[in-house]
Amino acid sequence: MQPKARSDEQDDKELEALGYAPSFRREFSNLATISFAFSIMGVCSSVASTFNTPLLLGGPASVTWCWILGATNCLALASSIAEIVSAFPTCGGLYTASAQLCPKKYRARVGWVVGWLNILGQFVGLSSTEFGLANMILAAASINGTYEITAGKVVGLTTGLLIIHGLLNSLKTRHLAYFASSFVFVNLGATSLIIILLLAMTPRSEMHPASYVFGTEGLINGTGGWNTGISFLLGLLSVQWTMTGYDATAHISEEVRRAAYAAPVAITIATIGTAISGWLLNIVLILCSGPISDLPGPSGSAFLAIMVLRMGSRTALALWFFVCVTAFFVAQTGLQAGSRTIYAFSRDRGLPDGGFFGRVSQGTQTPLRAVWLTVVVSVLPGLLDLASPIAANAIFAMTAMAADLSYIIPVILRRIFHSHPEVQFKPGPYYMGDGWLGVFANVWCTIWTIFVCVLFSLPTEEPVTPANMNYAAPITVAVIAFSGLWYVSGAHRHYHGPASNLPNEGKGGDMDVDLDERDAERLEVDGKEEA
């Protein structure tokens, strides 16, 4: 038997041990998986779209220090997620894991809430990414201040981009994997090129001193009312918005070869790479930024304004094209991950659709129904911008909070119920161990995420008005409350937690994972490969 076929067979056995019949082709190689993980964070485009927030609220020093502070703490969360993904390599990701990491009587309720938090976070995240990409494209058109950007143009372009990504995600898995393999090179290549050109084209005499980039000279409170400490910490919003989507790689794990190894390793490598490259990019941007009074400039993007200042409009726009391409890749990977989440939730009867969206196309062996449901639903938040930009921004604001809460719930459950007889967590190949390292990473990332969620809840300006009010926390709480009421009022009749779809397990039945069998199979395949 060929190594690839043997690997796929082993992956399928592990999936069956988790209670699911293999439905996808495993076409994602190690390179494609790592590239996918890098692309969901999209360091170059994500920094570009969020750079205004730390710069204008906390100042240059907030940009540089908050990035490395946030990125370091995000690594603890990424590592905690990676070891859970390694143990549960299914397209349900952390939703499936959450339900399996608590006693049976809680599984349905936990799975329901985490599932909806994760789905809504991905829907709104995809919509906000496309919305941000549309604004980035239009910002290039208005670089000289002569082109008027209207809500209709932004919403129209956002909708068009979602349709394009829907078409691309309708391709077969091998085409998606081939396409994804190039993402990391464009992402890191564009970031490196911007760094090099900014340093090369900025006269030494016009570069800011270290005290401005790293010191107190770079602390500028732009909040209008918060103290300097809070304004500085608001710079964390940029890195937290960028370094999210850790679980996206988990959602394609049924399409990944040696998923229990490749998916968690990709998450870790992408997090470290994004942390380092993003910090360097932020430092160089501040170093070459010119007077802060001239920012964000006519385009409304401080990132683009700095590039134009140092490179001229033609070179800046040429590079801006690649920044937009990286944002395009973020949306591409986001739609793929989101559609797999919908597929998994429908497969478990979490949607009131009778499993309609939990099926794969015979032609492409991808969940086309889930892909286009994701496209249609993701159009809706953008349409709100036509009626009320405040409402649209309020919906977009819940993205990171909903996603982060869905990340830490399985981490918390893993520690609370680690000795419960109905919860036997058997680690995968990626594991931080039973000692202090694993416990510290789990506890610390939980504390950090809760702290960041508090920051996500704060209005960024004072005095607070209906226009600048931060609605992230109320909307997230409302989503949790609504999903709970929905479950109690009727959803409990069709949803009973993750359900096996194996022929001998029956429809919609609760599943117990044969973890000892999975361990034995892993040892068997490892022994064969070594031989």
The domain segmentation of the chain, as residue ranges, is 42-492
Topology of the domain comprising 42-492? Amino acid/polyamine transporter I (1.20.1740)
**Residue 219 · residue 61 · CB < 8 Å:** yes
Identify the sign of the CA torsion 129, 135, 141, 142: negative
Question: Structure tokens of 379?
Answer: 């159009």
How many C-beta atoms lie closer than 10 Å to residue 359's C-beta?
Answer: 15
- Identify the CA nearest to 72 among candidates 249, 267, 276, 282: 276
- Identify the CA nearest to 248 among candidates 233, 234, 268, 267: 267
This prediction's pTM: 0.88
Q: What are phi and psi of 7, to 5 degrees?
A: -65, -45
Q: What is the pLDDT of residues 484-524, one digit of tens each?
A: 899 999 888 889 888 877 776 544 445 554 444 444 444 44
Helices (H), 202-294: 210-213, 228-233, 236-242, 248-251, 259-287
The arithmetic mean of pLDDT across residues 18-24, rounded, is: 85
- Identify the CA nearest to 254 among candidates 191, 352, 141, 176: 176
Segment of 143-147, 204-208, 220-224, 418-422 carrying the highest mean pLDDT: 204-208
Rounded CA separation 424/103 (Å): 10
Confidence of residue 16 (pLDDT cuts 50, 70, 90): confident
pLDDT surpassing 60 at residue 527 = no
Q: What are phi and psi of 311, to 5 degrees?
A: -110, -15
H or E segment at 122? helix 104-141
DSSP 455: H
H or E segment at 321? helix 313-347
The predicted pLDDT at position 510 comes to 54
C-alpha of 100 from chain center: 22
The predicted pLDDT at position 4 comes to 61
The predicted pLDDT at position 256 comes to 92
